[in-house]
Structure 1
C-alpha cells in the first residue's frame, strides 16, 4: 500500500471544481476557484484532481465512520456512542429517512462524480507523461467502481451516472438494477486493472494498484456468485508477492507498518495534517475516544485459545493498555459489552490519539479467504486449505493447520481475521443467499456482554426479514428530489 502526501479537496457534483479546505483535509492553502474551462491543463492538474478522489474517503458520513455503522447489524458488535438513530440500524427497524441510511448516499456519488470528471478531462491533456495519464485514468475507474460497490451492498439498486451523463447534464436518472450495477463495477475494475501499475515507490504510497482492482473484482464476483471468476482474479492477488501478507498480523494496525504489501486500500491519515474520525469513534471515551463500536462475547469467544489475534484485536477487562503517557487497566464498564477493538486504537507518547493509524478498507487476507471459500464451494472440503493455512500460519505458527477444511473452518477464519473491518454482516448475507447459514436464526440470538449477560443496549435478539433486510431503503430525500424518477426499494 502507498502513502499520499498532499490531499486536496476537489468538489465536483457537476463539472465545477472548487479548491478549498475542511476539517478532513491536509493543511494546505486554498488555491482559488477553478472550472473545467481553466483546470485540467497539465499533469499537475490531473494528479491533483485524482488525489481529490481519495480525499472523499476522509468523510465522517462515508468511510470515515458511517459505512462501519452497517456492521452493527451483525452478531459481532453492538452500537455505542450517543447516536440514538443507530439503534434502528441494529434492530432492522430503519426507514427511508433514517440518518445513517441517507447521509452516505451523497459521498458515494461525490466519489463517482470526481471519477467521472477525471475520465472526461484527463484523456484530453497532452502535457502529461503517458504512464501518469494511464495511472490517473485507472484510479478514476477504480474509485467509480468503489462508489458503485458501496451503493450495491447497501441499497441493491441505484442510478448509474457515467461520463456521457455528465456531458449531457443528465443526472436525474432512474435506478439501475443490481445486475446492471455489477456489470458497471466489473467494467470499471477491468479497466482499472489494465491501466494501474502493479506497485509504487515510496513517493506514491497510498495509491491503488492492479492488486487493489483485482481484489475488489474478486469481492464483486463472490457477491455475484461467480465463483470461478472470483478464484481467477483472486489468485492474481494471492500469487503476487507485491500483495503478500504482512509478516505479522499486528503490522496492519500499527502506525509505523500499516502501509505494507497486504494493505491494498486504506485511508491515508496523517496525525496533525489530515485524518478521518475512524480512530476517534473506536477508542474508549476515557482515553480520548467516542466509544461507538463494541465487540460482543460471541466474537471474542470465536478466537482459539492460542490465537494471538485475540489480544491484538480486542481489549478485555484486566488488559494493560499503553495509552501513550502510561499503562492503564481496561475495565468492563468502559463499554456496554465490556470490550473495545484494540486493533483500531493508537496513542501518541505525548498523549492523545495517534491519527497516523490507517483505516483498513481492503486487505490481501480478505482475498486469500475469499479464494479459499470459492474453492471449497466449487470443489469441496480441502480445496481451500492452502489459502486458509497461509492466513492462519501468518497469525501464528502455533495454530493447528486446517486439513480438509470446510465452510465451517472458512467462516471461523473470516470472522476472527477480519473482525471489525465491516465484513461480517455482508458475509452472513452472502452465505444466507447461498443457503449456507440461516441469518434469521443467527440474528434472533441476543448479543452478549463479557460476563454472558445480554448487553443492556442493543443486545436483544433482532428480527431479520428476508429478502427485505438484505438491503436498506433508498433515502427518501433523494426520491423526493427526483420528483418521481426514483422508485423506492421493495418492501419499504
Structure 2
C-alpha cells in the first residue's frame, strides 16, 4: 500500500487538545502553555481559532478520507490502492475499517478545540469586542460543522460540551440524531448572530452559517426553514456566485465570494493531500477518485462544466511544463476529475488550489429543492436558472422544473464534492428515488466496460456507517454500536 505523505503544521495556537475520549492535555510548544495561561489576549484568541481550521488539512480527515464515502455513489470509482476503500464502495465494510476510524479523531479534535475556545475566549478582557464575537462565532460554526459531518456519516454520536470539558467528562454515550441536529442548529444560529457578513478568505461568515443551516433544515424536511435561511445566502451579494464556474477551481481565483467554506492551502505551506489523490499518477498524483461514464454522460451537450470537471480521452491538459494529451490508459475508468487539479508553470501539482466544502451554488440548489418539494414543479426555477446561466448563457433555461431537473443540476454542478451519496440517500428517504435500484447498476468506464459490478445497498442499514469499533472498545461499554450493525 502506498505510504501516505506526512507533514507538519506550524500553527499559532498551541496544542491544548486531544480527541474527545481522552482528557485534554497540556503540551510543550514555544514555552509551557496550559488552558490556564494560554488564553490571555486577542492574539491568543485569533491564533486559537486558526488552530481549529488547520485540522481541515489532515489527510485522514478532509485531505482524503472523508471523500471515500462518496465512492458509495454512482458517480465515481475508488481506484487507488487502499483495499479499505473498495470495501466502502461495495458496502462490505465492517466497524474496523480504517476509513471509518481515522476521521472520527479529527472531528472530535475540532469539537474539543472549539469547546476550549468557547470556554476561555469569553474570559479574555484584552480584546476588541468585534474580534471576540467573531472568534466565538467561528468556534460555534466549526463545532457545528464537525457534528454535521459526524451526523451524516454515523447518525447517533456522542455530544461533548463545554461543561463536559470543565468536568472532565469525555466518555459520553451516543445522543439521538435529533439531539445532534439540535446542537448543530443551536451552534449555527449563535454563529450567524456573532459572525460578520464578510471576512477574510477561508474564514467563515454569516453566509457560511446560514448556508449550513439551510442544508440542515433540508435534511430534516423543514422546507420553510431551508428556504428562509438559504435565501439569506442567495440574495446577499457578499455570497454571489463566482463569475464563471471554472473560477472556483483555479488556484488564483479559488478564494471568491461563492466559497462559504473552503480549505486554505498554499503551495509550500499548509499542505493538503487532496489534490494529490485526485491527480493522474503519471502527472504527479495518486490516481484515486475516478469519475465513471454515468456521471460524464449526465452533462448536457455544450455545458462547459464538463470540461472543467472531467479529464477525458483526447483532452489537452496544461501540466505546467507543457501540453499533454489525456488518454484512457491514465486511469481505470478512462477519466479523472479535472476540477481538483492545477499544475504550476514550473511543473508539479499546484497546492494553492483551495477546494470547497460549502459553496453558494449548493445553497441555490438547496433552496430550489425545498421550493419544489413544498410548492411543486416550477417553484425553484429561478435558483436553478441562476446556476445554469452562470455555467453558460447557451444552456437552455428550465421552465416548470421538477425534482428530476433539480437532481440533474446538483449532480453536474457539485460532482466530486462529496454530495452525491448523501443526496441520493436523502431523496431515497423522501421516496423520490430508489437507491437500491440505482446502486444495483454497474459502474462503467469510458469504453462502456464494467468497472464495478452491481452493489447491494441495504435499507436502513446503509443509511449510516457503523461507529469505529476501536472507539467502542475504548469506551468500555459506554458507546454502543449502531443497531443495524450489531447482528
TM interval, short-chain normalised: over 0.9
- 1:33 Cα deviation after fit: 3.3
Query: Taking structure 1 as reference, are residues 74 and 9 closer, same or farther at Cα in structure 2, changes over 3 Å only?
Result: farther
1:213 aligns with 2:209: yes
* SS across alignment from 1:85: helix
TM-score by length of 1: 0.95
Contact 1:8-1:19 within 8 A present in 2 as well? no
- 1:6 Cα deviation after fit: 8.3
- 1:137 Cα deviation after fit: 0.3
Distance 1:78 1:213 in 2: 32
1:490 aligns with 2:483: yes
Partner of residue 197, structure 1: 196
- 1:7 Cα deviation after fit: 4.2
Partner of residue 372, structure 1: 368
Alignment of 1:327-406 (within 5 A): 327-406=323-402
1:431 aligns with 2:427: yes
Contact 2:201-2:256 within 8 A present in 1 as well? no
Partner of residue 251, structure 1: 247
Query: Taking structure 1 as reference, are residues 6 and 252 closer, same or farther at Cα in structure 2, changes over 3 Å only?
Result: farther
Q: 2:288 aligns with which of 285, 292, 316?
A: 292
* SS across alignment from 2:100: helix
Partner of residue 456, structure 2: 463
Partner of residue 166, structure 2: 167
Q: Cα RMSD between the aligned structures?
A: 1.2
Partner of residue 263, structure 2: 267
Partner of residue 4, structure 2: none
Distance 2:74 2:379 in 1: 28
Unaligned runs of 5+ in 2: 1-8
- 1:268 Cα deviation after fit: 0.3
1:474 aligns with 2:467: yes
TM-score by length of 2: 0.96
* SS across alignment from 1:272: coil
Distance 1:303 1:472 in 2: 30
Query: Taking structure 1 as reference, are residues 96 and 257 closer, same or farther at Cα in structure 2, changes over 3 Å only?
Result: same
Partner of residue 27, structure 1: none
Contact 2:70-2:420 within 8 A present in 1 as well? yes
* SS across alignment from 1:452: coil
Distance 1:255 1:389 in 2: 27
Q: 1:419-444 CA deviation, whole Å, 9 max, x = no partner? A: 00000000000000000000000000
- 1:181 Cα deviation after fit: 0.3
* SS across alignment from 2:290: strand
Partner of residue 3, structure 2: none
- 1:17 Cα deviation after fit: 5.1
